Amino acid sequence: MKNFKPVIWGLSTVVLLMVVIPLIRMVLAADPGVLRATVADPEVIQSIFLTLRSALWATIFCAIFGIPLAYALARWELPFKSVVQGIIDLPVMIPHTAAGIALLMVYGQRFFMGKAFSSLGISFVGTEAGISLAMAFVSLPFLVNAARDGFLSIDPRLERVARTLGASPWKAFFKVSLPLAWRAILSGGIMMWARGISEFGAVIVLAYHPMTAPVLIWERFEAYGLKYARPVAVFLILLCLGIFALLRGIAARKREA
């Protein structure tokens, strides 16, 4: 018993250091002058805001359509339920360049879905919509799985009680199930947004331009080397760290309230 906490903290520290040391090394190695110029570079600012915005649109879209799917998986006995769950998890397992090619072969302008959307004035190749589509495809599992686990943690008897008191299925969902599962859904949404921000492979296949921050980092590394790619990466990391620390802090305060 005496060694329990030290062992737990020791093992935890190894994992934390594995993540923290490379990030600290990259931040400390960045040239301050180049970093200041990077922060003021309109191309960098535009690409970062494009990345954050596209990931947010992807998260909102998947929340609208993914939360009902998560509820169905948690509450109903569906045919081929394990197959459906496997399909949801598949984007995490396949190479993301392959995911980009798969999306291109469906939503490209030479293919049926691409032509159908093009007739409506919507294009996914080389547009912000395409970036959001690629981000949604690869990061959807984070939101759906978190929401499913949130619904599974709720006692179904609470929903049945609401129904016996006269609540419709919709009212029971919005007044009982959703409020009780919101923490898990919020956590999944944050993780999905974060995963979307970091996406490179699927985005670069479907929409190389306009450039998201990961694509810009790769392009500057290829064209100018590590010196000019590293400040963009540092700026993005520090910005994301601040945003997600703030979001986690807000979620934690609401949990304690």
**72: in domain:** yes
Sequence-distant (6+) residues with CB within 8 A of 40 are none
Range of the domain at 88: 32-256
- The closest of 204, 222, 205 to 213, measured between CA atoms, is 204
Give the whole-angstrom CA distance, residue 195 versus residue 251: 18
**26: in domain:** no
**1: in domain:** no
pLDDT score for 226? 84
**58: in domain:** yes
Whether the pTM exceeds 0.85: the reply is yes
Which pLDDT tens digit goes with each residue over 4-44?
Answer: 888 999 999 999 999 889 888 888 887 788 888 888 899 99
**16: in domain:** no
Give the whole-angstrom CA distance, residue 197 versus residue 244: 12
The total number of structural domains in the chain stands at 1
Give the whole-angstrom CA distance, residue 204 versus residue 216: 10
CATH number of the structural domain spanning residue 40: 1.10.3720.10
**3: in domain:** no
Which pair of structure tokens corresponds to residue 211? 């450039």
Per-residue confidence band for 255, with pLDDT thresholds at 50, 70 and 90: low
